[in-house]
A = this chain, B = another copy of it.
Amino acid sequence: MTEIKENNMPQAIEQFILYWGDMGGQWGVNRSVAQIHALLYLATKPMNAEEITERLGIARSNVSNSLKELVSWKLIRRVPISGDRREHFEAETDVMEMAMRIAQGRKEREIDPAAMALKECVAQAQGDNKIDPIALERLQAMEVFVVQGSKWYEQMLSIPKGQLATLMKMGDKVIGLLKFAGGKKAK
């Protein structure tokens, strides 16, 4: 973990930024991006790029690129400050909303292209009489699963935040309820 420039921020915030930055690496984004996100998430007012640069001690250019990426994920947004021509940014602070945006981003970046590539593979495999039937079967199974998973994901993301939260709180209890509600509707 890299250190952060001298400052008088509370330790907990410092920790959070460092940790979140580190965590970012595990997920798809780099440290700078994640640190800036953490900083803005806890900030009580919008910040401009210069402030972020100083606060985190990273290069201005780096901040610029990272902000662009965060905006593309819709995790932060530009907010105009009257009388100040510099661009200011603030983070989405609703965690559920945040999670959904991340999920949406990952779907687009990971799942969708996977589904497309698989489709091509299967198409090619089907026109190849040299291919082992078992391998073909597996390719198809994978494709079906990814396509279906993609649809499910999309549906989940279309559910209003509040209902999704309810659904999550219910956890595995949905199963029981579905049995009750759906009853005889097997298949």
Contacts and interface: CB of A to CB of B under 8 A. Distances in A.
Copies in the assembly, this chain: 2
B10 A110 contact: no
Interface stretch (A60-68, A82-90, A131-139): A131-139
A178 B174 contact: yes
Contacts of A30: none
Query: At the interface, is chain A mostly helix, strand, loop or mixed?
Result: helix
Interface residues of A, number: 68
A129 to B, nearest CB: 9
B10 A95 contact: no
A3 interface: no
Contacts of A117: 15, 19, 23
A7 interface: no
A181 B15 CA distance: 44
B177 A138 contact: no
Nearest to A45: B134
A180 B185 CA distance: 15
6 contacts: A15-B117, A42-B135, A148-B168, A162-B187, A166-B185, A167-B175
